[in-house]
Amino acid sequence: MRCIYIVSLLAISIVLPAVLHAEERLPAAFIRIPESVQSIFVAQTNTAEFHRFDRSADLLVHQGTYYMSIGQAGAGKQRAGDRRTPLGVYFVTERLDTSRLHEKYGVMAFPLDYPNAWDRRAKRSGDGIWVHGVDANGGERPALDTDGCVALRNEDLTALAPSFSENVTPVIVARDLTWSSAEENIELRLELEAAVAAWVDSVSSADLHAYLSIYDDEFQRWGLNKAQWSAVSVQAIASQPVHEQSMSDLLLLRYPEEEGVYLSRFHLQRATDDRMVETTKRLYWRRNAQGALRIIAEDDG
């Protein structure tokens, strides 16, 4: 007999306290930020501004705005070589030593995980999108001057470097930065928390009907459509029964440039028959024609 631990919405609220207070005015993209995320960056392409938000106690505070340069052809990357900077939510993957690279990369570089699952679903190509410095002898770069990366002044990037955490720090790239109060986001936050909880519960209970009903009819992953993905998922869930499951570090963000699309990212720990499995899940939600939230793309990491 299996002992299944189902993560309820109440448990999520207790384990993952929200950090946004109703009186705060923050970017509308910030729906729920877990304590594990100490900094968030927003690259505002229309104004060439790179915004930094840091945790202070249980609040997020706008700590500064820095000049940046983006792709020569502007924002909205679609394919390799188009010299555009992608729009979306990305995560820093590592810190690169640029001492042996071309001078244009400056003092250091932080690669971003473009293309993500949403980009791949949209058939966007290319790679090598970094947040990096500039040539020490070249002076400040024009606002549109890179091959698609985000370039900051060396002194600014050096000051910001301690705030970049590998596979933790989000970098939101959007044309414009819109602001709202946490109170305005509460209803959406509760709806997304409930949607994530339902997904976790369906996996824990091996309720395949409930699990598959959460996925949009246009869902894609690994080049598979929903029907193909469903067959793979059913086999995986049936072959790996879950005895215990817990979730932590729930991050919820409104996806830039995509109306009705949201990103949830969280850590998932599962105990199966023979091992403990820890993963980081990314579920991309889209509101369908009936107004319901459904998973349209998915990824690990």
- At 135, list the tokens: 């040539």
Distance of CA 175 to the CA centre of its chain: 17
Q: What is the DSSP letter of 141?
A: P
Residue 80, pLDDT > 70, answer yes
Q: For 200-219, what is each residue's pLDDT tens digit?
A: 988 877 788 888 999 999 99
Please report the pLDDT score of residue 289 as a whole number.
92
Give the span between the Cα atoms of 246 and 186, in whole angstroms: 24
**E strands of the chain, at which residues?**
25-27, 30-32, 39-44, 49-56, 59-71, 88-91, 96-97, 108-111, 130-132, 144-146, 150-152, 170-174, 179-181, 244-254, 261-271, 276-287, 293-300
Of 38, 122, 49, 108, the residue nearest 79 (C-alpha) = 122
Please report the pLDDT score of residue 20 as a whole number.
47
How confident is the prediction for the chain on average, in pLDDT? Answer: 88
> Using 50, 70 and 90 to split pLDDT, how confident is the model at 6?
very low
Amino acid letter, residue 75: A
Of 216, 196, 163, 206, the residue nearest 266 (C-alpha) = 196
Percent of the chain topping pLDDT 70: 89
Instruction: Report all structural domains of the chain as residue ranges with CATH numbers, in order of start.
Output: 9-15+181-300 (3.10.450.50), 37-179 (2.40.440.10)
If you average pLDDT over residues 243-255, what whole number do you get? 89
Is residue 251 within 8 Å of 37, Cβ to Cβ? yes
Exposure class string for 174-185: b at 16+ Cβ within 10 A, else e: beebeebebeeb
Please report the pLDDT score of residue 24 as a whole number.
66
Give the span between the Cα atoms of 174 and 23, in whole angstroms: 24
Give the span between the Cα atoms of 273 and 187, in whole angstroms: 38
Q: For 143-165, what is each residue's pLDDT tens digit?
A: 999 999 999 999 999 999 999 99
